[in-house]
Structure 1
């Protein structure tokens, strides 16, 4: 339950997972059925705040960055790990298009602007 919850991008604190398991696994067999899991995750999805999700995504992009901004190197790393096949020119263009303050990096505010434009 904990691994699946985290894999879906949700916080999975031990106390929360134990509470869910106690609620949906009364015989305490350390199992939860598909329908119950679906209900729990669906509820979490409905309660998601898009801004929080975008901030979480930004942190994934900047996890290996000292500046807390998305650089070409960050994009190259993500590109390699996801095997997206983007060229360096395409990634440079992405940064240039959304770099409002022209510092060659994407900060959190610029990232949120990008995401909010694509969301709505």
Structure 2
């Protein structure tokens, strides 16, 4: 922990749901709607309807982390339809520090995703849609889709903001604090020298609008540079943040 004699390091401001029965399908020689594929589709519809009707649980995180999650969703909702698809979801998580494999992304979409909105739907101009409005949009999308009784492939499912918040909050809460600290270290050590030197502190102080003199920045480094190498290494930085 930084001593009271010197200022501390600058910190980074850091489904389908149908409100009625499924359309009748003609019976065929193999049993019509009793076919396993039909049962799977109906089950998938019920599960997505339950997800739409239930507000996802968001684990406790800091206000800064909540803001970071919301910013990531807004930034990568490229078509501004208040949904993110597979590709937008992947890069939004990567921006938060989570580079998940394709299989895990698809698994999360299968658990939390909802069918995409129809291409003719115009997103609301201002506030994000409520859960009720979202359910209505999904019901309309399925009503206009003759194949709505078939499950949507995971890669075509989308996420609403509440679902993205729940997923990101869970990932953040499960992250090793050391990983978060090393992410912060990388924001200082942008050229990957392995330590934070005076030029790094100058740059970060300037970006954060901190009016710190060189004497103050040098004092910070000298206080925590236990080996006298002219900078603060990873382990020293970790010790500062964990103490």
C-alpha distance in 2 between matches for 1:54 and 1:73: 20
CA contact (8 A) 2:205 2:211 kept: yes
CA contact (8 A) 1:22 1:28 kept: no
Q: Looking at both structures, which has the greater relative contact order when contacts are Cα pairs under 8 Å and sequence separation is at least 6?
A: 2
The aligned residue for residue 88 of structure 1 is: 214
CA contact (8 A) 1:69 1:105 kept: yes
The aligned residue for residue 59 of structure 1 is: 186
The aligned residue for residue 228 of structure 2 is: 102
CA contact (8 A) 2:93 2:99 kept: yes
1:3 shift after superposition:
4.5
CA contact (8 A) 2:115 2:158 kept: no
Unaligned runs of 5+ in 2: 1-88, 118-156
1:71 paired to 2:168:
no
Q: Which moved more, 1:102-111 or 1:24-33?
A: 24-33
Q: Deviations over 1:63-92 (max 9, x none)?
A: 225x32110011112222232332212211
TM-score normalised per structure 1: 0.78
3-state SS, counterpart of residue 195 of structure 2 = coil
The aligned residue for residue 25 of structure 1 is: 113
1:5 paired to 2:93:
yes
TM-score normalised per structure 2: 0.42
Taking a change above 3 Å as real, the CA distance of residues 68 and 5 of structure 1, as seen in their structure-2 partners, is: same
C-alpha distance in 1 between matches for 2:175 and 2:225: 27
Taking a change above 3 Å as real, the CA distance of residues 111 and 39 of structure 1, as seen in their structure-2 partners, is: same
C-alpha distance in 1 between matches for 2:202 and 2:110: 43
C-alpha distance in 1 between matches for 2:217 and 2:113: 47
CA RMSD of aligned residues (A): 2.2
